Structure formats: C-alpha cells, structure tokens
Structure 1
Amino acid sequence: MKNWGFLLLLILLVVSCRSKKALAQNSSEYDSTQVKKSDSIMVPKDAKNIQDRLTFYENILLHPKFDAVKISSKITADQLRVSPLDATIYIENDKKIWANISFLIIPAARALITPEGIKAIDRYNKNYIDSDFEYLNNLLNVNFIDYKTLEKILMGRTFMKITNSNSNIVKNSMGYQLTSIANQKIVTEDNVREYKLEMQYTNDFNLNWVKLQDVKSNDAIEIIYENWETFPNEVKLPKNVKIIIKGSKSSQILIENTKFDFSRMETPYSVPGSYKKIDIK
C-alpha cells in the first residue's frame, strides 16, 4: 500500500523539469548577500517594501488561457526502488488531469483526476482506487488540495489565497518575496489547520519557491520551480521542479521534463474486471 500511495503521489505532482544536476545546484548555490531560510530555500537580505501591489497581483494571479497541455517527464524520488519513471501528464484546463506512468516501457499506472475526485489503476499489483481528494491531502500532510488547487500546483501558479490584509510583499535581488502576516486557516469537514505561507517570485513574476508550514506541527511542504519557459501561446511553464515533504511523512521528488505539447489528445481510462478495488481510509 505504501508503494501504491507514493506512486499515485508522483502521478499527481508531475510538472516539468529538465536537469536534476542543475536543480540541485540552483537550489543551493547563492551569493554572499543571501541568508539561509531552510535546508532547501535561501532568501536575500536586501528586502524593500513594494508600492505597486496591483501590478504584482495582476502578474501572479492572471495568466494567459490555455486549453490543454501534454507534459512528458522523467521522475526520480528517494522512496522509489526503480527510477527514473517515465510519465505522460495531460491537463485539460478546469476539466481533467490524465496521467500514464511506465518503467522501461512497461506500463505501471494510470490516473484520471477530475473535480469530482481521483481514479487510478496500479497495473503491477492489479488493483485500483476511486476516491475524493482526502487521499491526496493525507499523502501531502495538508488539507487544502482540490482539483483547481492541484492544477495550479502542476502549472506552477499561485494556489493559495492572497490579499492585502493577509500578506507582506517585499522586493529583493531574487525578485519578490511574499510572507503571510496572519496564518492561513483552512477549514474542512474533518479538521481545521493553519499554515504560515512563504513564496518567492522572480523579477518577471514567475513562482520560484513556495513553503507551507503547519503552525501546530512539523508538517511542511516546499516546492521549488526553476527555469521557466514562455511558449508561443504566452503560457509559461517551469522546466525544473523539486518537491520536499517534511514532518510526520517525508520525501523528495525531482521531475525532469522532456517535452511540452499544447495539442489535445485522447485520455483512455478503464479498469480491468480482474482488478481489486482498494478502500482508502
């Protein structure tokens, strides 16, 4: 069950990445004007408050429209016995996320995520799941993931609510740093959790890194986005991504993207009759 859960986590979190070596270097090598923020995040000391918040909000919250994007990727992670895994991720805006994962051309898993929930099959163990987003929230030690939030995470877009009253924004040599003034409270049917939010954007407003820390525990998630590319349709996507989960569960994931394609594609999904359903608790 642990391997299945982690495999699904990889499917859902695949975004873009090109060079694992470059990612490791870029996330740790900074000049002497910077001060260490955590094991994976560095921020500069030269911070100044910004005056034009409207321009900042427009650039980080409003993005060019896209219909669909197909991402071909390779995944490595510290909890995988075999790697890299080959993944094809197809995102149809506001509608669905389809994923297919294989190892050495051998099919391993397939998933279909919609606003209604998550479906996935494990070809190796011949079982499947059909669940809501609670399962993914449990995997990530959070409680705020729904379909639209997941889509924004995969596209490298701002996925938490930001307002003038709940955030402090400063300009530094890396770009723009946003820190929550008040903890962000997320209320669900099962629990209430509060998070401290930190985000760094580049000088041209691309999301560079984000950290969410549960204020009542050691649970935290960090995502580092690197090497953004602008496509002819003006959609921007990061080539490098590193995901770090800390606390009661911990893992690191690196994703290496090899190709982007904005044409539509078929997204077949079916469960063989011999497969066994896994009940997620």
Structure 2
Amino acid sequence: MKSSIIIILSALLITSCSVQKKTDEDQPVSTIKPIENNAQFFSAIAKQSSFDAVKINSKIDAKTGSFIPTLDAVIYIENGQKIWMNLTAVILQAARGVATPDGVKGYYKLDKTYIDSDFSYLNKLLNVNFIDYNALQNLLLGRTFLPVSDENYKLTQNAQGFNLSSKQTQKITENGKTTEYNIALDYDKDLNLNYVILSNPQSDEQLEITYSNREILNNESFPKSVKIIIKAKKTDEILIENTKFDFSRMETTYSVPANYTKKEIK
C-alpha cells in the first residue's frame, strides 16, 4: 500500500521538464536589506490564478526505496473546483484520483485499493495541517500555498529575488499533535515561487519543494519542473516533468471499480 500512497500522492500533489538540482550556487545570497513595501509584496504573491481550466501532460518518477515505474500522467485542473488525474505505467492504467474542496479520492489498480477522505489524508502524509483544496491547487501550480503574513515572516531581498523566513517557529497541529517548523520561501525577481522548505528543529523531518524551468502561458507563470523531497524516518522523492499544457476543458470521469478495498491512512 505504501507504493500506492506515493503514486496517488504524486498524482494529487504536484505538477512539473528536467529537474534542476539546487546547489549552493543556486541558493540566494545573504540578505541585503528589507523590502520597502511589504504590503505590495504580500498582495502580489496572494493573487489567485485567472485561468478557467488547464490540462497538463506529465511524467512522474517516485523514489521511495521500492521500485515504481515511470508514470505518464494527465493532470486536469478546473480553477477552484477540481483536480483530476489519470496515471498509466507503460500502457496500462495504474491509478486515478480527484480532489475537490470536499476532499480527495483515488484508486490504485495494481492492488485494487482506493481512498476516500477529507484533506486530513494529505496532511497526515506531509505531517502538516494547512493543506485544503486551495493550498493543494496553489502547490500544484507553483504558487504560495502556505499561510504567510508580514506579522509572522521576515521579508528580505537578495541578488536572485526575495526571501520569506519565519520570525519564529510556526506551530502546526494535526490530530492533537503540535509540531514546530522553521519555514523559508524563495521567490525570483518576478515574484515566482522557486523554493520552499519546512524543517523541524527537534528532528530531521523536512518537506522541501523546488520549482524551476517556468513558462509563461495565458499571462501566467507555470513551473515545468517540480521536485518534492519528504524527509522523515526515510526519504521519499517525487519528480515531475510537464511536457504539454492545454487550456481547453475536458471530460473527467471517476468511479471506483467493483471489488476494490478501501484503505485508511494510519
């Protein structure tokens, strides 16, 4: 079931050509000075997408310690309403999933299992509590998906763009368990989100996301490359390569085949 969780998570969690490794040279240089107009910055990064719908053809590679073949994905997003995804391995369907403001659903064909949950499913997998539909869509599209504010974050400028860093550890509570994270977000000079890291100062747990190779389509910036690293007791990586964007609507079907078994996330 672990493989199916990662596959459906990758299906519901990201959108992404070649993944660029983040080296020390890629990291923003030391901060120079605070941004003069913080309100303008926070307003700009909070701006919502204006597209009606987008269909994205992608390739997904997941590294979990177990063999998972490269997956071909069709990711379809109706702005603010639905994220639908179909995954195939070689030529055979492997999984299908859909997320709406009500929650997430998905089935994994190889072991005939399915999930049907609110967003606690994704929050449990990531050990956070802020993922809802809007956060998930923004995460997929390379937009700010964390709650940030001038009150709780320090905004600075550097040679590559801008950096937001939490002024103190941010408390995230899930299932009665409170975890504190140090959070940092990097933006380029056009205020596109490049990099996010949440790190637990009490453990080695981290969630790290890198967006790169952006393309301007329909007057919006879309990341063609996304790399997600989830570090806990072990490290899982999800790499996604987008190969085509289409802004026309499409029909999306979802129904769990007969004789599939529901799985609970523990």
Q: If the length of structure 1 is used for normalisation, what is the TM-score?
A: 0.88
Task: Report the more deviating stretch, 5-14 or 195-204.
Answer: 5-14
Cα distance in 1 for residues equivalent to 2:132 and 2:200: 18
Q: How does 1:217-236 map to 2 (within 5 A)?
A: 217-232=203-218, 234-236=219-221
* Alignment length (residue pairs): 265
Q: How does 1:66-145 map to 2 (within 5 A)?
A: 66-79=51-64, 81-145=67-131
User: 2:211, 2:227 within 8 Å by CA — same for their partners in 1?
Assistant: yes
User: 2:154, 2:164 within 8 Å by CA — same for their partners in 1?
Assistant: yes
Match of 2:163 in 1: 177
Match of 1:204 in 2: 190
User: 1:100, 1:110 within 8 Å by CA — same for their partners in 2?
Assistant: yes
Match of 1:97, as an amino acid? I
Deviation per CA, 1:105-141: give whole Å up to 9, x if none. Answer: 2100000111211111111112211122222222223
User: 1:121, 1:128 within 8 Å by CA — same for their partners in 2?
Assistant: yes
Cα distance in 2 for residues equivalent to 1:123 and 1:151: 25
Task: Report the more deviating stretch, 189-198 or 164-173.
Answer: 189-198
Q: How does 1:143-182 map to 2 (within 5 A)?
A: 143-182=129-168
Q: Which runs of 5+ in 1 are unaligned?
A: 31-40
User: 1:63, 1:235 within 8 Å by CA — same for their partners in 2?
Assistant: no
Match of 2:18 in 1: 19
Cα distance in 2 for residues equivalent to 1:95 and 1:64: 12
Cα deviation for residue 29 of structure 1 reads 6.4
1:76/1:188 Cα in 2 relative to 1: closer, same or farther (>3 Å)?
Answer: closer
Match of 1:28, as an amino acid? T
Q: If the length of structure 2 is used for normalisation, what is the TM-score?
A: 0.93
1:53/1:279 Cα in 2 relative to 1: closer, same or farther (>3 Å)?
Answer: closer
1:46/1:274 Cα in 2 relative to 1: closer, same or farther (>3 Å)?
Answer: closer
Cα distance in 2 for residues equivalent to 1:202 and 1:48: 16
Match of 1:4 in 2: 4
Cα deviation for residue 14 of structure 1 reads 2.5
Cα distance in 1 for residues equivalent to 2:130 and 2:181: 10
Cα distance in 1 for residues equivalent to 2:233 and 2:128: 11
Report SS of the residue matched to 1:179: strand
Cα deviation for residue 260 of structure 1 reads 0.9
Q: Which runs of 5+ in 2 are unaligned?
A: none
Cα deviation for residue 3 of structure 1 reads 1.1
Match of 1:51 in 2: 36
Cα distance in 1 for residues equivalent to 2:241 and 2:105: 24
